[in-house]
Chain A
């Protein structure tokens, strides 16, 4: 894999290093530097985003209004932090409250699934010429460890229907796109005869060589391919060709790496797997822990379709039955994840983010449902890098308004970045040529939360 004899122009060089192409294919001192960083005890933090597709009801999870006519039938229960109460259907999470922060004063403007999803996941509204990267791409780029076998961003069971672009790496390019597993398990409506096989769906697609191709054959043809790649890059040293070779190197490394063992959930004790919940979200949380353990800096797990509920948290009809079922899945998955991380000494260095695209109307509609609501809703943070055991902001007695400490989209996202130790002023070059900061200059991270 000799470097081409042709020199790249300075501009090409900058572009290639920005795209992470050169850093990877360089041999020698750069690689040594990379392994030194990987071995350093000052490991960077990881982030697990629990994405609640459809918009979860704050009124029936973390900001109940018992006694008010908007409140609904659920009761409040005490948590491990005196004074903080949450829904009776989240008993295990209640015991984790000492390591959590509730943000009850989210105030955003978008109440359309597509637009709100894009905004909460990228920080910006869709529609302009700039293709903003999704949070996982943006942050994992800052947190990645050079030379790691596993990709830096894994997306588990995403439901991209509302806004496909909100799940992409945008102007950062495919180099920072997520490795996606478990996607096709989430169809719009239940499909008769299609049994959801959680175990299989959480494996990396196309990681295994095709049937009938032996290991020996595979090695031989990959070697032939390498020679062709080198030939082409030598005569045409430009980003598309360099990036192709680099992506193949990383893909082959992944195919041959023991690190993909992280996707073999069968290795876990049966009891632990049961505790996470034998469903896509629960097993996805387990996979998230295994990946973080392997040093993957950003993992997202989507909770959408579950227990025959096809629209996830989009509970326009029969909200209370639906949220109860969703809560059970959420409760065991999330709480077990925190226990498991804690036991392995990883909770300190892992930030868990819980959010959807918006909340739901305090008023209960004629179908016993709740509709889209952006004016006053709840998100949550848990784990390391933050001051836990507290609630930020509050809503009015009827839940209709933020009564204290309104938090906007950019404020919340900037808080996540700062908690992960990322410099929010750092800029990336966008597809329109304009540099764009990690967080908008106007964003105000929630200081009370930052440790």
Chain B
């Protein structure tokens, strides 16, 4: 532990000597790019397999095409594939079709829409805590959209966020209309307080939890109070004014580099987390200096924290777990070398998130089945079986819509309009009912209200009614089709796979029984099969 910290310090000091704002190396040209992805995937596979060998772990078999198809759609676009997309992919015989699919999804507008949710959840977890943040969420999302659509590097995103000019952020009205594309909500959520901004910045971007040092020193903690406030001093010039119910930015003192430690008369001077004093360049602002240090390619925390988060997103558990506390305690990486390689490659490819996604989604670990192949579940951090992950409310609603052809008749996703009694869209209502996911995806749970809503609520009711559901109508009304085929299509629509023989038999039996009970109720019974599929755990989790 001690040795590791020492090495980190040495690395950090070396970095400081070279100058904090080293320019990122020029990205390799695109011809080499796919080669780089393949190389990184091979490294991931080798290092993951090495641990399996050491622990005598038998990995689960590779996921079949349908399992992979559904998983990668949910992860990259936030919804399941349509029947057409599923048929096309399953029929495709090209050996590289999985990589092709990833490429196609990464280029789609649904990738942008979904990753807005992913990054918002990371950068703005307070949207549920604070109504002022909630109101400004749309401006924040508009900013994220710009960044993701142009595939901005993760470093660029961080720099824009940390460097955001705060003095011309406008009036209350501007903030409330939510028209602008700005990450201001990040600052609002932290109430423009240096200590909150410092704690969040360290946690989100560096994977370091330092807020415990805010109030007092802890005997075994990595950082003391002096260091916490020294880090917070980079935000020392940020100021706010309060109206009765709202917090607004006030004129910033951009070059302020110190902060009083509360309850003392001592000033903490702005210091990086290794205690090194920044080299202040003329005209550089305090926040800008911090942003340059953090996003320099050699920073020992920034890239590691980022790849760890992306890894957790795709595989359920970080290489260091928990992702918010990568340093300190006994939080060691499960695969130290892999973490280093990923971090290095990510930085070397201008922090291109898509580069990382290509390599991870091509890896064996990501492509393993989630089905249990042996009685004892392997430890999560071995990545020997894909864990089950809960869907976010957005993923769930959008997947229901994809499976059923549900058309949202409300047209208004605006939070304020909803509060003011406007017609909210079914999607907005659904998201409110299901709420934000507060637990980890691998520990996702279902509540009674959610179960009731999916069983009896109006979205599923309309989606499984013979009159209102496009998918169902198409399946039920198609002439000259055997019940078996109708059922196979329903499985494809909801679970993105063909049913097994036993499942077909059971469903056919179910439909025939209904027909025997009451004449003409076969169509209803098909609707019920559809309903049961939409309520099944296989639909409601990402597996």
Chain A positions near chain B (C-beta within 8 angstroms): 6-9, 11-12, 15, 19, 21, 112-115, 118, 126-129, 131, 151, 161-166, 168-171, 173-175, 177, 179-180, 187-189, 191, 194, 204-212, 216-217, 220-221, 224-225, 227-229, 232-233, 235-241, 243-248, 250-251, 254-255, 316, 371-372, 431-433
Contacts and interface: CB of A to CB of B under 8 A. Distances in A.
Contacts of A166: 129
A240 B442 contact: yes
Contacts of A8: 377
Contacts of B388: 236, 238-241
B244 A251 contact: no
B537 A229 contact: yes
Contacts of A170: 438
A188 B419 contact: yes
Contact of B420 (A7, A189, A372): A189
B452 A205 contact: yes
Contact of A163 (B129, B199, B322, B379): B129
Given A239-B444, A240-B390, 14 more contacts: A12-B377, A114-B131, A163-B131, A165-B129, A174-B446, A177-B449, A209-B456, A210-B456, A220-B510, A221-B531, A227-B506, A240-B445, A316-B244, A432-B322
Interface stretch (B33-41, B229-237, B367-375): B367-375
Interface residue tally of chain B, by bracket?
A: 35 or more
Contact of B537 (A165, A169, A204, A233): A233
B540 interface: yes
B189 A236 contact: no
A432 to B, nearest CB: 6
B483 interface: no
B447 A162 contact: no
A346 B236 CA distance: 56
Contacts of A239: 388, 442-445
Contacts of A187: 419-421
A168 B535 CA distance: 24
Contacts of B446: 174, 240, 243-244, 246-248
B420 A126 contact: no
Contact of A247 (B371, B450, B510): B450
B456 to A, nearest CB: 4
Contact of B438 (A168, A221, A225): A168
A332 to B, nearest CB: 28
Contacts of A208: 456
Contacts of A9: 376-377, 379
16 contacts: A127-B196, A129-B209, A131-B439, A206-B449, A217-B514, A217-B528, A220-B528, A221-B529, A224-B532, A225-B532, A232-B538, A233-B537, A235-B372, A236-B388, A239-B443, A244-B446
Interface string B460-477: 010001000000000000
A183 B375 CA distance: 45
A432 B377 contact: no
Contact of B372 (A162, A194, A236): A236
Contacts of A163: 128-131
A173 B372 contact: no
Contacts, number: 222
B453 interface: yes
Contacts of A246: 446
Interface string B483-514: 00000000000000000000000110010011
A9 B378 CA distance: 8
B245 interface: yes
Nearest to A207: B452
B537 A168 contact: no
Residue from the set A113, A241, A245, A255 with the largest chain B CB neighbour count within 10 Å: A241
B322 A241 contact: no
B453 A206 contact: yes
Contacts of B125: 129
B543 interface: yes
Interface in B79-114: none
A428 B194 CA distance: 31
A255 B533 contact: no
Contacts of B244: 316, 371-372
Interface string B421-433: 1000000000000
A228 B541 CA distance: 14
A335 B387 CA distance: 52
B203 interface: yes
B132 interface: yes
Contacts of B465: 210, 212
A314 to B, nearest CB: 9
Contacts of B253: none
Contact of A432 (B324, B442, B449, B457): B324
Task: Name the 7 nearest CB pairs between A and B, nearest first.
Answer: A174-B447, A191-B421, A251-B451, A210-B461, A247-B446, A243-B445, A221-B528
Given A129-B209, A240-B445, A205 B439 contact: no
Given A162-B131, A173-B439, A126 B532 contact: no
B478 interface: no
Nearest to B193: A127
A245 B447 contact: no
A433 B377 CA distance: 20
Nearest to A224: B532
A245 B451 CA distance: 9
B333 to A, nearest CB: 16
Contact of A245 (B387, B452, B525, B537): B537
B70 interface: no
Contacts of A371: 244
B165 interface: no
Interface in B398-444: 419-421, 435-436, 438-440, 442-444
Residue from the set A187, A194, A235, A371 with the largest chain B CB neighbour count within 10 Å: A235
Contacts of A205: 449, 452-453, 457
Contacts of A210: 456, 458, 461, 465
A236 B447 CA distance: 20
A19 B130 contact: no
B528 A129 contact: no
Given A114-B129, A251-B451, A237 B372 contact: yes
A114 B322 CA distance: 28
A113 B263 CA distance: 26
Contacts of B439: 131, 171, 173-174, 431
Interface in B179-214: 189-190, 196, 199, 203, 209, 211
A129 B324 contact: yes
A296 to B, nearest CB: 13
A250 B448 contact: yes
A247 B448 contact: yes
Residue from the set B134, B420, B537, B538 with the largest chain A CB neighbour count within 10 Å: B537
B325 interface: yes
Contact of B445 (A118, A206, A232, A247): A247
B445 A161 contact: no
B389 interface: yes
A188 to B, nearest CB: 4
Interface string B521-535: 000110011011101
Contacts of B420: 187-189
B524 A217 contact: yes
B541 A251 contact: no
Contacts of A175: 445, 447
A163 B245 CA distance: 13
B118 to A, nearest CB: 17
A212 B529 CA distance: 16
Given A174-B445, A371-B244, A131 B538 contact: no
Nearest to A225: B532
A207 B452 CA distance: 6
A11 to B, nearest CB: 8
A174 B421 CA distance: 27
Nearest to A243: B445
Contact of A161 (B419, B444, B453, B532): B419
A171 B438 CA distance: 7
A224 B529 contact: yes
